[in-house]
Structure 1
Amino acid sequence: MPPLVSRWRRLDPWLILFVGLGILFTLLFIIFPLIKVISLSIYSDGRFTLQPWRDIFALRNWWRPLWNTILLASIVGVTSTLTGFMFAYAMRRMAFPFKGFFRGLALLPIITPPFLLGLAAILLFGRNGLVTAGVFGIRTSAIFGLPGLVLTQTLSEMPIAFLVIGGMLGSLDLTLEEASATMGATPRQSFRRVIWPLMRPGLANSFLLAFISSVADFGNPMVIGGDYSVLSTAIYLRITGLYDQPGAAVLAVTLLVPSLLAFYLQSQWVGKRSYVTVTGKSAGRPHQWNDRLISGVAAAVVILWAVTTVLFYGSIAVGSFANVWGVDFTPTFKHYLYIENVGMDPYINSLILAVVSAPLTAAMGLMMAYIFVRRSFPGRRLLEFGAMLSFAVPGTIIGVGYVLAFNQPPLVLTGTAAIIVISFIFRNMPVGIRSGVAALSQLDKSLEEASAVMGARLPTTLRRVVAPLIAPAIFSGLVFSFVRSITAISAVIFLISARWKLVTPAILAEINQGRFGVAAAYSTIVVVTMITAIMVAEWLSRRMGAELDLQA
């Protein structure tokens, strides 16, 4: 008997089932839709052709969306990383007052739809903006385009950079700075020669995460992009406006290139760097070795960011009660009454599908994490890469791929709730996998071995031994999936139907029709829902003795 077959026969059949399901789901719901998108760009009527590519290249300025996408993502990567670093520096290394309040504000863009910032930018800086027209008497459209996108995406991506860099900054050994000071270095020299070099992996990671998210962003370019065309919106408009699916597939393949390159660098190049500073030796009590200039800049960044965030989200709340924004600010409930009259179905549908998909996402994440950490089998790394691939692929491409893949027999899912739930599960599964891997890596295998010796099968071991010990990680993944399902837009914009409308496309439709008051009312409902959900989740996580982690 071949050694490989013998080895597999000795394995738990449940483990073989889990691996088989992992391979099946990854191929069916991640790889297969991507293959459909790629094949549409090079195949027509069963024959190989490059005509869709020739048609796109024949367009005037065909390269403009690609260049705009990379330029925007690069700028946002730099601005959000630097802002996040200064924010993290103030929270970790300075005696800054009201740190809890500022950290709470940093969570807002993570738990709300990103394009709400685009709506707020219009309310504040548009032609009837509160700041531009109301304060300065200027009617301008300057906020539309690259300036508005950089502003809104920086506000949206900065919290992730803050979480990544803050965690790394908090783990640095303070004795290194003390040793630098003992050798006569000034606080600024210690910052430049000690802190900054050690933070390079975190800075690079933050930049790449912001770059990936900016490339994939669909909502803000649709709301505030104006004439600044990027690939995500160009794909959507080519399908819905020109009904050119092959052309959209060409643009989707083009969008895949920078996304996958950044994902590879983030997961491989940055992930393999080692800058060890925690050695097990006591670091002593924290001591503030801060340069006044750097501390002043960090404090200014925190205050400016907090004021901007309050102003942006405050404008949405006020706008939901204003009669006509920019003209008549008389308080009214007409926007909420309008939502009640047309129906709350999009909001209710979003809640239902998010509640359904969240535990399934957590379960899938746990299953995949377990087979990645606990078992070695042929093709494990390839399966892990495929499972994590949905993090890098922009939602626009996922949405197009799902429409192409599941719009014909044998698996017809378009127009159903199932395709939306599946998209939620596999878009959010990488975070559950990462949380599960981190938690499982801290558990001793002997606990599972003892369970197996006592006759328990793998499902029983997972349910009674593993799951209780990593419950905080599972819970964080569940909450993250719920939040991201409610706030998703880029993929579901292609998957919604007359029966299954969702709240984020409904908000986007109101913005596009110029009903900013209704959009603000919808947005306020979503924000209040998310804040309430996070408060409840935080209370539950404390009862479990853990810390809620919503880092993407």
Structure 2
Amino acid sequence: MSLADTTAAPRRRRVDADRLLTLVCVGVPLLGLVIFFLYPMLIVFLRSVTVGDGYGLENYTRVLGSVGFWRATGNSLVMGGATTALSIFLGFIIAHGLYRCAFRGKWLIRSIIVLPLLAPSLVQGLGLIFLLGRNGVISRALGIEIEIYGFWGLLIANTLYALPQAVMIIGAALVLLDARVYEAADVMGASPSRQFRDLTIPTSRFGILNAAFVCFTITITDFGNAAVIGGDYSVLATEIYSQVVGQRNFNMGAVVGIMLLLPTVISYAIERQAMKRQPVGQDTGQQPYRPAFSPLRDLLMAALSAIICAGIVLVIGIVVYASFVTLWPYNMTLSPKHYDITLAGGYSSLWMTIVISLMAATGGTLAVFLLGLGLRRLPKGVAQPIQMLAAIPAAVPGMVLGLAYILTFNSTATPLYLLYGTAALIAIVNFYHYHTQSFLTVMTGFRQFPRALEEAAGSLGAGLARTAVDIVAPFIAPMLISVFFFLFMRSMVTLSAVVFLTTPDLSVAAVTIMRLDDAGLTSQAAAFSTCVMAVVCVALLGMKGMLAWMGQRQGTKGNV
């Protein structure tokens, strides 16, 4: 045997092992998408057309002929549109102040604006009740009775919940605007208002459109705020809950779920088509915009941002404060007695939620990393359809996904029934609820990874596994850490995706808060909410600490 044959054999074995590992990296996450996303969504559709022992459209006829359904649909669309418009308007004010104006205290605004993301969605509703309800602080101070339940209360709560998303997305668009364009406009004598109208708005329109899609989807699918402060203002999310939990009518719930899916899918499709027209990449030599202080503009934007942030602090802060009030609103002395929670399973659901969130974060981060790693080795024609499938879960509301899971995994006709009532199933639904965001974040990291490093490792004899562990993973570690903590924090506070999957023996924190509020124990619900927010805040600080440590470590290596 020649020397060439002896060296070629290990190389062939390495190539074969790399191909097998590539198939595993793509195949396992893809199988998960099929079993835990596509299959449950197919079951929802089949249940919606199930009539007796056959199939038909009678369920759709009954639902579409119901006055209550059309009222809930109209309310959902009106609420979604109003919340989106208000969130985009307020979000643009804050984002413009943060990235296009010069004033102090921006760090405080950035810290406050993320607070709604650290709490279950129903916390905004609870806070408004403590402020503006029949026994609210503001209502009693003014001596008037404010009807906060219904459209206006739900609009405020949903806006506060969607606002952080609008600020972050619009801010990401504004921060990329090229300073050279504005310098040229100054040279040509364009006024600030003309620059805002002709440069800032047009170049940030795709970010505004993306933010509008996210805000609309969050609003139209939210269940927590609607359940707490919606009152008689029925929406599609509460209609699904009523059909499934209240009336045990799963087929009708599936029909309403399909109807709820339609507006989100349509808005998702519109947003995707519009984003395809967005220019990809940045011009070489692009300069970041550094705003010069303009008293009238900057002081006005700072004041408006401060007012909006004050509203957020007031709504969330009153929940924390109310958790320590002895008897709201009659005995306002402070006491920790409401933290002695014995009803609704006590704190067992909080510890279980932490475990579930760790499971979702660990398994989810590994899954999207393997998928991204494998897709790099696949031909473009094969990789693109898989990438499209991986991005589709963003268009499915959590309420519909949770309904799909109970219809799929609560049936003894499939071995998957073994997962029903387990913490693993709730962790899985949490991951696939936020699969798109996690996948896109990791893919951003892979796009930044230089292929030259991978080729150099291959030329030195490193296989795919060695390259992934020693080179790829350390390079995109900040993205992986961000995905891990994102999945953990969202799993801690999500309600709509898991409300159908809890059992008497297994509950999660957000559902416990809802049950405490339903039982009239609003102070204990506030106490439990405060505990959840404390856990999420610790996680957020941990993420920032780890990212800062990694940044310092990379800086030290660079200096060496």
**Displacement after TM superposition at 1:108 (Å):** 0.9
- Normalising by structure 2, what TM-score? 0.91
Structure 2: which amino acid aligns with 1:155?
L
Distance 1:264 1:470, change over 3 A: same
**Displacement after TM superposition at 1:33 (Å):** 0.6
2:215 matched residue in structure 1: 210
Match of 1:312 among 291, 302, 315: 315
Tell which deviates more after alignment, 538-547 or 388-397: 538-547
**1:165–1:199: 8 Å Cα contact kept in structure 2?**
yes
Match of 1:159 among 152, 160, 164: 164
Q: Distance in 2 between matches of 1:439 and 1:464?
A: 16
Q: Distance in 1 between matches of 2:22 and 2:463?
A: 10
1:414 matched residue in structure 2: 420
**Displacement after TM superposition at 1:339 (Å):** 4.6
Structure 1: which amino acid aligns with 2:124?
L
**1:187–1:289: 8 Å Cα contact kept in structure 2?**
no
1:279 aligns with 2:283: yes
1:498 aligns with 2:504: yes
Distance 1:339 1:271, change over 3 A: farther
Match of 2:352 among 345, 349, 352: 349
**2:22–2:377: 8 Å Cα contact kept in structure 1?**
no
**2:349–2:509: 8 Å Cα contact kept in structure 1?**
yes
Structure 2: which amino acid aligns with 1:501?
S
SS of corresponding position for 1:514 = coil
Q: Distance in 1 between matches of 2:552 and 2:279?
A: 27
Q: Distance in 2 between matches of 1:399 and 1:243?
A: 15
Q: Deviations over 1:52-98 (max 9, x none)?
A: 11221232243111121111111111111111111011111222221
SS of corresponding position for 1:273 = coil
Q: Distance in 1 between matches of 2:384 and 2:77?
A: 29
1:111 aligns with 2:124: no
Structure 2: which amino acid aligns with 1:121?
L
**Displacement after TM superposition at 1:436 (Å):** 1.2
Distance 1:200 1:117, change over 3 A: same
Distance 1:196 1:364, change over 3 A: same
Q: Distance in 1 between matches of 2:186 and 2:369?
A: 46
Q: Distance in 2 between matches of 1:174 and 1:137?
A: 52
**Displacement after TM superposition at 1:369 (Å):** 2.1
SS of corresponding position for 1:12 = helix
Match of 1:543 among 528, 536, 549: 549
Distance 1:415 1:452, change over 3 A: same
Structure 1: which amino acid aligns with 2:115?
L
**1:366–1:432: 8 Å Cα contact kept in structure 2?**
no
Residue segments in structure 1 that go unaligned for 5+ positions in a row: 1-7, 548-552
2:292 matched residue in structure 1: 288
Q: Deviations over 1:471-490 (max 9, x none)?
A: 00000000000000101110
Q: Distance in 2 between matches of 1:285 and 1:383?
A: 37
1:224 aligns with 2:229: yes
Match of 2:55 among 33, 37, 48: 48
1:459 aligns with 2:459: no
1:168 aligns with 2:173: yes
Distance 1:37 1:546, change over 3 A: farther
**1:399–1:493: 8 Å Cα contact kept in structure 2?**
yes
Distance 1:10 1:541, change over 3 A: closer
1:90 aligns with 2:97: yes
- Normalising by structure 1, what TM-score? 0.92
Structure 1: which amino acid aligns with 2:422?
T
1:73 matched residue in structure 2: 80
Structure 2: which amino acid aligns with 1:390?
P
1:380 matched residue in structure 2: 383
In angstroms, what is the RMSD of aligned CA positions? 2.2
1:521 aligns with 2:527: yes
Distance 1:10 1:414, change over 3 A: closer
Q: Distance in 2 between matches of 1:351 and 1:124?
A: 30
Structure 2: which amino acid aligns with 1:473?
M
1:39 aligns with 2:43: no
**2:177–2:289: 8 Å Cα contact kept in structure 1?**
no
Tell which deviates more after alignment, 373-382 or 510-519: 373-382
Percent identity at matched positions?
28
**1:395–1:490: 8 Å Cα contact kept in structure 2?**
yes
Distance 1:446 1:175, change over 3 A: closer
Alignment of 1:426-441 (within 5 A): 426-441=432-447
Match of 1:509 among 509, 515, 522: 515
**1:260–1:393: 8 Å Cα contact kept in structure 2?**
yes
Distance 1:537 1:287, change over 3 A: closer
**1:416–1:497: 8 Å Cα contact kept in structure 2?**
no
**Displacement after TM superposition at 1:285 (Å):** 7.2
Q: Distance in 1 between matches of 2:106 and 2:138?
A: 28
Structure 2: which amino acid aligns with 1:231?
L
Q: Distance in 2 between matches of 1:49 and 1:163?
A: 45
Q: How many residues align?
A: 536
Distance 1:308 1:115, change over 3 A: same
**2:18–2:464: 8 Å Cα contact kept in structure 1?**
no
Q: Distance in 1 between matches of 2:319 and 2:148?
A: 17
Alignment of 1:234-253 (within 5 A): 234-253=239-258
Distance 1:284 1:474, change over 3 A: closer
Tell which deviates more after alignment, 371-380 or 144-153: 371-380
SS of corresponding position for 1:280 = coil
**1:216–1:393: 8 Å Cα contact kept in structure 2?**
no
2:328 matched residue in structure 1: 325
Match of 1:190 among 190, 195, 220: 195
Q: Deviations over 1:18-46 (max 9, x none)?
A: 22223311111011111111111112345
1:399 matched residue in structure 2: 402
**Displacement after TM superposition at 1:204 (Å):** 0.8
Q: Distance in 2 between matches of 1:76 and 1:546?
A: 41
1:17 aligns with 2:21: no
SS of corresponding position for 1:545 = helix
Residue segments in structure 2 that go unaligned for 5+ positions in a row: 1-14, 554-560
